[in-house]
Each structure stands twice: as C-alpha cells, then as structure tokens.
Amino acid sequence: EDQVTQSPEALRLQEGESSSLNCSYTVSGLRGLFWYRQDPGKGPEFLFTLYSAGEEKEKERLKATLTKKESFLHITAPKPEDSATYLCAVILTGGGNKLTFGTGTQLKVEL
C-alpha cells in the first residue's frame, strides 16, 4: 500500500533555530512530490514540486530536497511567521493527478 509519512508531528523552534522536516514515502512509483503550507482555517498554499532524486528547490528561508525514499524541507533561521502546518503530498505514476497527502508537521516558531 502506498504511504506517505511525515515527521515529526509537531515541532517547536526558537526564532533563528534552523531545522528540517521529513517526508518519507513508500509508493509503487513516484511521479512527483509536493510541499504545501497550511495556516489554520485556510487552504494549503503551494510551495514546491520535486520530480527527481537529487533535485532541490529554494524559496526564501525554505529549501526542499528529494531522495529516492524521502524528502526534506529545511527551514533556515525561521521566523514566527513561518509557523504553520507543512504538508507533503505525492503523485504516483499511473495515478493521474491525484495527490496523496501525509499527515503534516505542525511547526511553531517562537520569539
């Protein structure tokens, strides 16, 4: 069975304290991996798409990387406004464009 697992479930950081969120996947065939940010009571906001092992994407304090088994979302010198739930999702080969989501990592960045 295809599975997407995110860890940790929750993470509390001090402002400026860099860290990484993990998304591991066990799937029949990966076509693409997505990272989204979701604020409470809002819909997910698209961050990155990764297609190949070794690929990296960056946006401001966020950097996403992909291997054959997992993806990391690195947060460098986070600020309180980075607090949100970060969702990982995959699209499978032969699965059309259906997204399968992980359960998310709830990040809180404190002053």
Partner 1 sequence: GAVVSQHPSWVICKSGTSVKIECRSLDFQATTMFWYRQFPKQSLMLMATSNEGSKATYEQGVEKDKFLINHASLTLSTLTVTSAHPEDSSFYICSAALTTDTQYFGPGTRLTVL
What distance in Å separates the CA atoms of residue 31 and residue 26, rounded to the nearest whole number?
A: 13
95 lies in the site for partner 1, by CB under 8 A:
no
Contact range with partner 1 by CB under 8 A, out of 13-21, 40-48, 60-68, 76-84: 40-48
Query: Burial letters for 72-101: b for 16+ Cβ neighbours within 10 Å, e otherwise?
Result: bbebeebeeebbbbbbbbbbbeebeeebee
Report, in Å, the least distance between residue 46 CB and partner 1: 6
By C-beta, is 25 or 34 nearer to partner 1? 34
Give the binding site for partner 1 (CB under 8 A).
31-32, 34, 36, 41-46, 49, 87, 91, 96-104
